[in-house]
Copies of this chain bind each other. A is one copy, B any other.
Amino acid sequence: MYEELKEIKNLNPKKFIEEKAKEISDIVGDGVAINALSGGVDSSTVTMLGHRALGDRNKTYFIENGLMRQNEPEQIVAIFQELGVPIEVVDAKEQFFAALKGVTDPEQKREAVTQTFYKDVFGKLVRESGAKYLLQGTILTDVDETAAGIKRQHNVFEQIGIDPQEAFGYKILEPLVQIRKDGVRKVAEALGLPESIYNRMPFPGPALAARVIEEATPERIEIAREANYIVEEELAKEIALKHINPFQYMAILHKDRVTGMRDGKRDFGLQIEVRCWDSIDARTATPTDVSYEARKRIADRLTKEVPGVVSVTYNLAEKPPSTMEAI
């Protein structure tokens, strides 16, 4: 279905926005469209385009899956509120944690998050909304990776539990499919989105569930959330000082316990791994040369502020053979 796709070269963001808003408006007519906002740059851009084209006839849902970072849902909703774009927050935490219960295999964890999102939560919203149009933030790199066999191509309607045969008339709109990440960032900026969105660090779909080795319980996700908050805060200082310019950084809660000591007693405690990557295109990556002082400061805060943490490590290996996320 993407065979004829051509990348848009020499992108003019303002012209692109006008054209795509008109296309969406022409196709949807006086119908209703729907989209899911994660707060990433792709889905944020699609949300703005849908709103520009359709106003309130584009319904945007933010699914609170319980796996987002500290204050992330509130911040995303506030950003769009200020831009005059209404966002409906759907609390689906219990459904996601129920699906993740007892799941330890990384692939099964990803699948549990994906399936809960499409089948149980977003699928239901699509069916109930009466929308026949679904706006998606697919970019050209996603299409390339599908063709190369790196990502699986999913029929989105099948994923959300709608049989495309029976449900004739459903249509997916992918306004970003001829541009790549750098283009999306330019379009996002031209749409008036703040830098926290258009320069947002990638945060893949399984969210904090990918930052916890083995089972992602609410308690373990909370530890990973606190750890990621500290790591992001401390590394943001280093970035502001222009000491480093990483592509992505994170904290990972390990399952392995290691021996530590607290108040003179043995404490078989938790270990947090800090990863910080220099990368151009995410295909290869090198550990960022974070200063000794900054690394110590991070370790100091993690062991003092996150309950149960006795040990902290920093990634050393390149991608490949490593990958950016741990699971």
Q: Which chain A residues have a beta carbon within 8 Å of chain B's beta carbons?
A: 106, 213-214, 254-256, 258-262, 267-269, 273-274, 287, 289, 292, 295-296, 298-300, 302-303, 309-323, 325-327
Residue of B nearest to A308 (CB): B321
A258 to B273, CA, bound (A): 11
Most chain B CB neighbours (cut-off 10 Å) among A269, A296, A312: A312
Copies in the complex: 2
Closest to A325 in B: B259
Q: Contacts A262-B320, A309-B321 given; 18 further ones with Cβ under 8 A?
A: A213-B256, A254-B256, A255-B255, A258-B323, A259-B323, A259-B327, A260-B320, A262-B321, A274-B316, A287-B296, A295-B316, A296-B316, A298-B316, A303-B321, A303-B322, A310-B317, A310-B321, A312-B317
A316 neighbours in B (Cβ, 8 Å): 274, 295-296, 298-299, 312-314
Interface centre among A319, A320, A325 (most CB of B within 10 A): A320
Of the A-B pairs whose beta carbons lie under 8 Å apart in the complex, a sample of 14, sorted by A's number, is: A255-B255, A255-B256, A259-B325, A259-B327, A260-B321, A261-B321, A261-B322, A267-B321, A299-B317, A299-B318, A310-B321, A310-B322, A310-B323, A313-B314
Q: Is the CB of A323 within 8 A of B260?
A: yes
The residue of chain B having its C-beta at the shortest distance from the C-beta of A324 within the complex is B259
